[in-house]
Amino acid sequence: MAPLRATRLGQVGTWLGHEALWSVDVFTRMFATVVVLRTVSQLVTTWWFPQGVWDASPTLVRGFGGVSVEDDEEEDADGDVEAHDSEEFVMTADGERFYRHSTRHQGQYWPCPIVSRDPCRECAWFAQDLDRRPRCAAVVKLALRHHERYRHFTLEEIRVLIEQGRPGVFV
């Protein structure tokens, strides 16, 4: 307690002033650093690596182990395949791996993003909207993977929303 008794009120005020200025200095530097890093990050992502380029490029690796997958199996010779190309891995969601390709098997309305050979009407993710048009929750999930609101929806939630006729983004 002796050092406290020996200090004068003017010294305490000076000390508090120095500490306050130091705190303001540290917080100002931290704020400036965060602003600069966020600005550089936004400039890099929007100018040099826009989302459209990322989606359009088949050579960019997406996710962990996201390389193009070649189909090793030969297709049936009875003509049940409309087109065939290599499958490009896009994402993983709800325990399913989604691919971009153009192969359509017999009974499929569109290329299956989960690479199923079954007809669409037998798939768990098949749904009909209120106008009785065929829809696929997996195709919608793949299309909405960057959508701000719907990207976190599960396949089951998307299938139910399609069947209920909402939201309009699925139609």
Residue 16 sits in the same domain as residue 94: no
Within this chain, do residues 144 and 81 fall inside the same structural domain, yes or no?
yes
Q: Are 11 and 30 contained in the same domain? A: yes
Shared domain check, 142 and 66: yes
- C-alpha distances (whole Å) from 38 to each of 29, 32, 41 are 14, 10, 5
Residue 63 and residue 18 in one domain:
no
The reported pLDDT for the residue numbered 135 is: 84
Tell me what pLDDT residue 73 has: 43
Residue 59: the pLDDT is 53
User: At 13, phi and psi to the nearest 5?
Assistant: -65, -40
> Domain span at residue 125?
55-170
117 near 103, Cβ under 8 Å? no
Torsion sign (Cα): 64, 111, 102, 79: positive
Distance (Å, whole) CA 11 – CA 18? 11
Q: Are residues 35 and 88 in the same domain?
A: no
Q: Decide if pLDDT at 47 tops 90.
A: no
User: How many structural domains does the chain have?
Assistant: 2
- Both 79 and 15 in one domain: the answer is no
Planar angle of CA 55, 60, 62, nearest 5 degrees: 75
- Distance from C-alpha of 152 to C-alpha of 144, rounded to nearest angstrom: 9
Query: What rounded mean pLDDT belongs to the chain?
Result: 76
User: CA–CA separation, 131 vs 163, rounded Å?
Assistant: 10
* Average pLDDT of the segment spanning 112-136: 85
Distance CA 80, CA 61 (A): 31
Q: How far is CA 33 from the centre of its chain?
A: 27
pLDDT in tens, 4-44: 666 677 787 888 899 999 999 999 999 999 999 998 888 87
At residue 134, φ and ψ (nearest 5 deg) are -70, 140
- In this structure, the answer to whether residues 97 and 163 fall within a common structural domain is yes
pTM for the predicted model, two decimal places: 0.48
- Per residue in 72-112, pLDDT (tens digit) is 444 444 445 555 567 888 888 878 888 888 888 888 888 88
Contact 85, 102 (CB under 8 A): yes
